[in-house]
Amino acid sequence: MDSVGRLAQRLGRRWAGLIACGFLVACGGGEPEPGENGVHLDRWVAAFDAASPSALVLDGGGSLVLDRGWTPEHRVDHLGSSDRRVWAIGGSSRVRFVKPQGLVDLWIDAMAFPPGASDTPQRITVRLGDEVVARATLRSDAWEEVRIPLPDGLVTGRLYELILDFERTTLPRDFYGEGGDERPLAAEVTGIAVVPRGLVEPRKFLAAAGWTERDGLRLPLGGELALPVPGPGHGTVRWGRVRGARRATLQVVVRAPDGQEELLWSESVDESSDRQLEWRSTEPGSRLVFSAQGAAERFVPDQVVTVDLPPDFLATTSSHRAPSSPHVFVYLVDTLRADSLGPYGAAAAHTPALDAFASEGVVYERAQAASAWTLPSVVSLLTGTYADRHGVMKGFEKLGAVEPLASRLERNGYDTVAFSQSFIASEAFGVDRGFGEFWLHDQLNDFGQASPLLRRMFLEWFRSRDDERPLFAYLHSVDPHSPYAPIPPYDALAREHPGSLDPKDYGPGFFNRDRRAGETKEIAHLRGLYEGEVRYTDAQFGRFLDLLRRLGLYDDSLIVFVSDHGEEFGDHGAFDHGRTLYREMIEVPLIIRFPRGQWSGERVESPVSLVDLAPTVYELAGIETPPGTFDGRSLTEVLGQPTGPARVVFSQVNPEAGPFAGTVDYQALIGPAMKCIENRLGVDQFGEEQPTWLAFDLTVDAAERIPLPVEASKAERCRRTLERWQERRALDAAQSSPGELVSDEAIDTLRALGYIQ
C-alpha cells in the first residue's frame, strides 16, 4: 500500500450516504425557491454513472469526471463503514462535467492537507478554461462542505472543464517524517459533484438515484434519466416492471436541445407493465428521458420509483455520414495476456465479445510489444518506432523529437482525442503530444472497474463535438492491471480455485517479492482473479463496440483492440511485468477490424510488432510519409498470404529498480521460427546470475522453456542477426532521439505507484 493509502487508514472518518469520488454523478434543476425543507426545484434531473449492467453508456446530463491532478480513488474501511476518497495533487486539479438543466454549484466535501497542521486555510481558485469564476477556502482542522456557484450562462448538455488551483501543497514525508509517498498533496476529498443551486443535502440527493444490479434504475420523484440519442436517428426503447412510490407516474419523452418534448409514454406506476416503444429524433443533441412524476415538487429521499431496464433496453440507429478518411479507434487494454482470450486459443476463456469481434476482423496471432511495460510500449505504438529510437525507456524520459501518430493525423485533417486511465500513459511522459484533447482519469493501482467511465468520457466528448472531420480516438483501459478485484459474476474462476492467503496478499508484486512461483494452489487463485478481470474486460469492450454502432461509427472505422504487454504468473519463475521478454510478457493481442469488414476472418501467423500500427493507419488514411519515418511496416502487407513474408521484430526492456524487482536490461529478436534474448547485465530481476544469451526454437518450444545450446547453429544465427541490428542502430545517429527529462512530480508519482524505488 502506498503512503496515501496509509494516510487514508489513519485519517478515515465515518459518514452515511453515497460517495463515488472517481466519477461522482451530478443533478440539475430549475431556478430554486424556498420550500419546506429549504429547497424547491421545478425539475430534478437524476444523473447516473456508466457502471450499469446495460449494453450502453448511461448519460446523466450532469456527470462529473476527475481528470488530471487527482490520485486514484482509495477505499478505506474505518469503524465498520467503507469510505472512498481522493487527494488533490500537484497544486492544480481538473474536473469535467456535462451541464445539466438549471443553475448549478460545484459542491466539495473536503479538508485541506495536511490535516490540523496549520491555522492558514487552503485557498482555491476555480477556473472555467482561462476565466476565474470563483475563489474558496478549505479548513485544515475540520471537514467542511464548500459550495461554488458556476456561471449562469452555461449551455445545457455542453461539456465543460473546471480547473481547481490550490495555493499550497505538502509532501506527506515532510509532515509525517517518514519515507514513501512524495507526491505534493493539497486536499483530501470525500465528495465532489455538480448539484442544483440551493440544494441542502447533496449526499442524500446523490444517494437517492442510481443504478443497482439487483433493483434496476432508481428515480426519486421528479427525477429523470436523460440518455443521449443520435440525431437524426431512430430506435426502440423497452422496459420491464415498474414499482415504488404510490401515486407516481412514469413518463418517457424525447427532448430536443431547445427543451421541446415529444411524449412517448405516461402511466401510473401502479398500472405500468412491460412496454416497448419506437422513438425518432431529428435534432443533434436530443435525449430520451425517463422521469418519475409525483405530487411533491421538493426532493424526498425515500420516495423512489424503480424501473427494470434490460441490458438491451435502448436500440438506436444513426444516420452519420461516412468520413472522407476512416475513423480510427485504438482501444488498448493494459496488462492483457493474449493466451487468456478465446481468439488466441484459451481453452477456459469466456470472451464472447472478442470472439465475435475477431470473426469480423483480422487476428494477428503473434503480435509483439516493443517493450514489457507500459511507457516504452505505448510510445512505440503511437510513434511507430522502437524504444531506442524514441528515447523513452526507463521512466525518467518523455517523448521528445519523434513525431507521434496523432500529430501527423491532426495535420492531415483528423480530429484527435485520447482518454487514458493510466498516469504512465499521460502528458507527464509526452503521450498527449498531437492530441487535440487529452483526458486523464488515473485509475492505475485502483481496485475499481474503470472502463465504463472510459466509455462515458468518450460519449460526453463526442456529443459536444461539432465537426464532421474523421476521428482518431485512443482509449487506454486498466481493468486487468493489478490489483485484481473482479466483481460477480466475473469472479467465478477465483471462487473455483480458492486460496489460503490473506486477500490483500493476492497481488503479483507480493508474489514476486515472496518468490511464490512453486505454490500451485495460490497461483491458481491469483490467476483466477486475473482471468475474472479479463472476462470483465471482454464485456466492457463489447459495450464499447455497441456504443460505436449506436453512434453510427462502426462500419466505416478502423477499430484496433490491443494491449501494451502481458503478465507473468510464475511461467518463468516470477510475477508481474516489465522485467522479462518471454512470450507471456510481450506476445499481446492485436485484433483489427478494417473499414467495412475488409479481410474479415483472416488470421496472420507471422510475427508483427506494435510499431506496425502507425504506418498501417497512415496507409489507410491516405497519408504519405518519407522513407525511414517508421521502424514498422503496414500490417496490410501480411494479409491475403497464408504465412506472410519472412520478418523479424524486436523488443527491449531496461527499467529502473522497483520495490519488488531489480534493474534488468534485455533485448530480444523474434522471427518466424526462432527467438533469442540478450541479457546485457547478466543477472535477472532478483539479482541472480543468468546466461547472457538464450535462444529458443519456436517450432518445437513455443512456450520458451527449453533454451538451445549456445553452440547450436540456429542459436548462433539468431544471435548474429540481433547483433547486426544493434550495430546498425548504434551507427545510425539519425535513428536515435533522446527523450526529454520528465518532471520531478512525475518521478515522485512513479515512485508512489511502485514502479521505481
Residue 10 has pLDDT above 60, yes or no: no
pLDDT of residue 1: 40
Closest CA to 162 of 97, 238, 100: 97
**279 and 146 belong to one structural domain:** no
**203 and 124 belong to one structural domain:** yes
Question: Is this structure's pTM higher than 0.95?
Answer: no
Residue 238 has pLDDT above 70, yes or no: yes
Tell whether 465 is covered by a domain: yes
User: In the predicted model, what is the mean pLDDT of residues 267-283?
Assistant: 80
* Cα distance between the two ends of the chain: 14
**170 and 235 belong to one structural domain:** no
pLDDT of residue 54: 24
Tell whether 174 is covered by a domain: yes
pLDDT of residue 36: 25
- Peptide bond before residue 257 is cis, with ω within 30 degrees of 0: no
More confident call, 438 vs 216: 438
What tens digit of pLDDT does each residue of 474-514 get?
A: 999 999 988 888 888 999 999 999 999 888 888 888 888 88
What tens digit of pLDDT does each residue of 287-336 get?
A: 788 888 776 555 565 677 888 877 667 777 766 667 789 999 999 999 99
**555 and 434 belong to one structural domain:** yes
pLDDT of residue 28: 29
User: In the predicted model, what is the mean pLDDT of residues 439-446?
Assistant: 80
**508 and 578 belong to one structural domain:** yes
Residue 15 has pLDDT above 60, yes or no: no
User: What strands lie across the sheet with 608-609, from one edge to the other?
Assistant: 587-588, 367-368, 608-609
Closest CA to 660 of 574, 738, 746, 599: 574
pLDDT of residue 32: 26
Tell whether 690 is covered by a domain: no
Dump the DSSP string for 343-389: GGT-TT---HHHHHHHHHSEEETTEE-SSSSHHHHHHHHHHTS-HHH
Residue 234 has pLDDT above 90, yes or no: no
pLDDT of residue 527: 93
Count of CB atoms situated within 10 Å of the CB of 79: 8
Sign of the CA dihedral running 491, 18, 30, 464: negative
Tell whether 362 is covered by a domain: yes
Rounded CA-CA distance 84/192 in Å is 11
pLDDT of residue 181: 67
Residue 649 has pLDDT above 90, yes or no: yes
pLDDT of residue 300: 60
What tens digit of pLDDT does each residue of 352-409 get?
A: 999 999 999 999 999 999 999 999 999 999 999 999 888 888 877 888 788 999 999 9
Residue 483 Cα distances to 332, 528, 569, angstroms: 18, 13, 14
- Please give, one letter per residue, the 3-state secondary structure of 637-653: HHCCCCCCCCCCEEEEE
Lowest-confidence segment of 36-40, 281-285, 601-605, 669-673 by average pLDDT: 36-40
Tell whether 716 is covered by a domain: no
State the pLDDT confidence band at 155, using cuts at 50, 70 and 90. Answer: confident
Residue 35 has pLDDT above 50, yes or no: no
Q: Give me the CATH number covering residue 243.
A: 2.60.120
pLDDT of residue 74: 65
State the pLDDT confidence band at 5, using cuts at 50, 70 and 90. Answer: very low
Rounded CA-CA distance 704/696 in Å is 6
- By percentage, how much of the chain surpasses pLDDT 70? 80
The torsion angle over the Cα atoms of residues 202, 208, 209 and 215, rounded to 10 degrees, is 160
pLDDT of residue 295: 63
Backbone φ and ψ of 671, nearest 5°:
-115, -175
State the pLDDT confidence band at 756, using cuts at 50, 70 and 90. Answer: low
User: In the predicted model, what is the mean pLDDT of residues 641-670?
Assistant: 84
**181 and 304 belong to one structural domain:** no
Rounded CA-CA distance 162/150 in Å is 10
Tell whether 46 is covered by a domain: no
Residue 210 has pLDDT above 80, yes or no: no
Reduced DSSP (H G I as helix, E B as strand, rest coil) percent helix, strand, coil of the chain, to 5: 25, 30, 50
Q: Which residues contact 668 (CB under 8 A, 6 or more apart)?
A: 581, 586, 650, 651, 652, 675, 676, 677, 678, 722
SS3 of residue 749 by DSSP: helix
State the pLDDT confidence band at 621, using cuts at 50, 70 and 90. Answer: very high
Lowest-confidence segment of 237-246, 267-276, 313-322 by average pLDDT: 313-322
Q: Give me the CATH number covering residue 349.
A: 3.40.720.10
Rounded CA-CA distance 49/58 in Å is 7
**504 and 366 belong to one structural domain:** yes
Tell whether 730 is covered by a domain: no
Tell me which of 607, 626, 644 is where a domain ends: 644
Count of CB atoms situated within 10 Å of the CB of 707: 17
pLDDT of residue 127: 95
Residue 165 Cα distances to 57, 137, 149, 183, angstroms: 31, 11, 16, 16
- Please give, one letter per residue, the 3-state secondary structure of 520-574: HHHHHHHHHHHHHHHHHHHHHHHHHHHHHHHCCCCCCEEEEEECCCCCEECCCCC
**431 and 285 belong to one structural domain:** no
**108 and 227 belong to one structural domain:** no
Tell whether 633 is covered by a domain: yes
The owner of cell 401502479 is: 270
**281 and 198 belong to one structural domain:** no
Lowest-confidence segment of 242-251, 442-451, 691-700 by average pLDDT: 442-451
What tens digit of pLDDT does each residue of 106-139 get?
A: 888 899 988 876 677 899 999 998 899 999 999 9
Sign of the CA dihedral running 189, 190, 192, 196: negative
Q: Where are the beta strands (DSSP E) in 152-274?
A: 159-166, 185-196, 210-212, 216-220, 224-228, 233-239, 242-244, 249-255, 261-268
Tell me which of 294, 318, 342 is where a domain ends: 318
Residue 654 has pLDDT above 80, yes or no: yes
State the pLDDT confidence band at 337, using cuts at 50, 70 and 90. Answer: very high
Lowest-confidence segment of 5-19, 131-145, 229-243, 477-491 by average pLDDT: 5-19
The number of helices, as runs of H, and strands, as runs of E, in the chain is: 15, 42
Average pLDDT, the chain: 80
Residue type (1 letter), 6: R
What tens digit of pLDDT does each residue of 171-209 get?
A: 887 777 665 567 889 999 888 888 777 777 777 766 666
Rounded CA-CA distance 744/748 in Å is 6
Grid cell of 186 as nine digits: 493539497
Residue 26 has pLDDT above 60, yes or no: no
pLDDT of residue 7: 33
- Structurally, how many domains does the chain consist of? 3
**592 and 618 belong to one structural domain:** yes
Domain enclosing residue 586, as ranges = 327-644
Helix (H) or strand (E) holding 204: helix 202-208
Residue 48 has pLDDT above 60, yes or no: no
What tens digit of pLDDT does each residue of 52-83 get?
A: 222 222 223 345 778 888 887 665 543 334 46
SS3 of residue 208 by DSSP: helix
Tell me which of 292, 318, 344 is where a domain ends: 318
What tens digit of pLDDT does each residue of 605-618 get?
A: 999 999 999 999 99
**333 and 269 belong to one structural domain:** no
pLDDT of residue 558: 97
The owner of cell 473546471 is: 162
